Amino acid sequence: MDFLSGEIFYIDKPLGWTSFDAVKRLRSAMLRRLKPYGVKRLKVGHAGTLDPLASGVMIVVTGRSTKLIEELQAGVKEYIATIALGATTPSYDLETTIDATYPTDHITLPLVVETLKRFQGAIEQIPPAFSAIKVDGRRAYNMARKGHTPQLKPKTLVIDEIELLSFSPTELRIRVVCSKGTYIRALARDIGEALGSGGHLTALQRTRVGTVDLAHCLSIDAAVEAIEQAPLTFLDDTLN
């Protein structure tokens, strides 16, 4: 491996880890390998953030390959999402507690099927207040956690596919194929609103980024083991 010239790792990010946690763990393992060569810094990044409450495909890039981040994260994403109906939370997921409840007796399978069709294709989506988007130079989530309501503008995005995997009046499980920049938490909010029941995300797994799916991915431990054991190679000018 040549971490300085650039490597690409496909990781199955664990539930509860931030994307930064995963990058930090891999970077630390690489720097331990490079320490005998006098390397103290290494550029490592990722193509597409996953929230701590989400798991699944994450692409980690190193060295000169970090130039590919924009290209890599531009690919379509696929997710498996579980949406609880009948209640909302300020963050649209389990990061915050339920702030309102609604009836679900009116929710039927035909209603759900017809409602989901409205979310396929080009749609407008307002990002979550609990997101990393900057508003007047401040992160929206910092404002939201202090009780302020950041004014976020709707974004146009594309939902290529939305498939109902399981149904009950209080919970949906869906598969979503979508463009870069889609917030599945916000999609859960909007589906709940459209059903007249409210909704929030209770589980999320990213199963594909571009052509990379879970079958291509290593666990964090397996990636660290590969980093620790793989032969190192360097271009002639790498350490100059």
The residues carrying an active-site annotation are 51
3-state SS assignment for residue 42 = coil
| Residue 204: its H or E element | strand 199-209
Q: Which residue, among 73, 63, 69, 78, has the nearest Cα to 26 in the 3D structure?
A: 63
CA distance 47 to 8: 10
Q: What counts of helices (H) and strands (E) characterise the chain?
A: 6, 13
CA distance 19 to 3: 19
Q: Which tokens belong to 235? A: 């271009």
Q: Which tokens belong to 109? A: 């399978």
From the number of C-beta atoms within 10 Å of its C-beta (0-12, 13-18, 19+), residue 91 rates as buried
The amino acid at residue 103 is: P
Asked if residues 140 and 133 have their Cβ atoms less than 8 Å apart, the reply is yes
